[in-house]
């Protein structure tokens, strides 16, 4: 009889801990300044989904300052940005199999490099400020040309278009062609 009460007590305590941790995790994401966002669309029959956290400019200079040139960036905030395709696609003439990838970027003044990395689910940066990108797990890297956007974009946004995807933030947009 006594062991039945103890077992029920342990089960109830563990259930309460699990529920409170799930509630805390949901509140944590909802209260973040850089809210989780999703961009999705079709490119040549493939469904592309990009899950990212969207930071704001807040009066700061972004590219070349907050996000340094020639240094790998998590392409968003919080967790590493996730790029998913349900079919094999070609980016800049290079094949990317169907699957889920962490998307990283290395901004440059006149050219960017995007990295599709097989490791997913990690936080985007280490305590040192460097990204969590493991070069050995890069599946594909492609070059893209940044351009000055027509208008200022306060919050980082990805858009999936019939031709690929575009990253827009501050006064910059970077299109990436997909076939």
Render each residue's pLDDT in the chain as its tens digit; 179 residues.
566 656 665 655 555 455 554 444 444 556 777 899 999 999 999 999 999 999 999 999 999 999 999 999 999 999 999 999 999 999 989 999 999 999 999 999 999 999 999 999 888 888 888 888 999 999 999 999 999 999 999 999 999 999 999 999 999 999 999 98
- Predicted local confidence at residue 40, as pLDDT: 98
- Predicted local confidence at residue 124, as pLDDT: 80
Residue 45 three-state SS: coil
Say what the pTM is. Answer: 0.81
What's the order of all strands across the beta sheet hosting 138-144? 35-43, 46-54, 81-85, 99-106, 112-117, 138-144
- Predicted local confidence at residue 107, as pLDDT: 98
Strands (E), the chain: 35-43, 46-54, 81-85, 89-91, 94-96, 99-106, 112-117, 138-144, 147-161, 164-177
Q: How far apart are CA 96 and CA 25, in angstroms?
A: 32
């Amino acid at each position: 009889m006594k062991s039945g009460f103890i077992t029920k007590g342990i089960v109830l305590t563990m259930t309460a801990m699990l529920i409170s941790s799930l509630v805390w995790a949901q509140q944590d994401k909802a209260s973040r300044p850089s809210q989780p966002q999703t961009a999705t669309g079709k490119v040549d029959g493939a469904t592309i989904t990009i899950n990212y956290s969207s930071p704001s400019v807040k009066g700061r200079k972004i590219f070349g300052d907050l996000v340094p040139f020639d240094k790998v960036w998590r392409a968003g905030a919080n967790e590493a940005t996730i790029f998913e395709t349900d079919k094999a696609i070609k980016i800049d003439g290079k094949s990317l199999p169907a699957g889920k990838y962490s998307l990283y970027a290395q901004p440059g003044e006149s050219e960017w490099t995007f990295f599709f990395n097989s490791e997913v689910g990690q936080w985007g940066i280490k305590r040192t400020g460097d990204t969590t990108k493991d070069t050995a797990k890069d599946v594909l890297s492609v070059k893209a040309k940044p351009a000055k956007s027509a208008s200022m974009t306060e919050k980082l946004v990805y858009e999936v278009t019939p031709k690929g995807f575009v990253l827009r933030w501050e006064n910059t947009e970077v299109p990436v062609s997909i076939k």
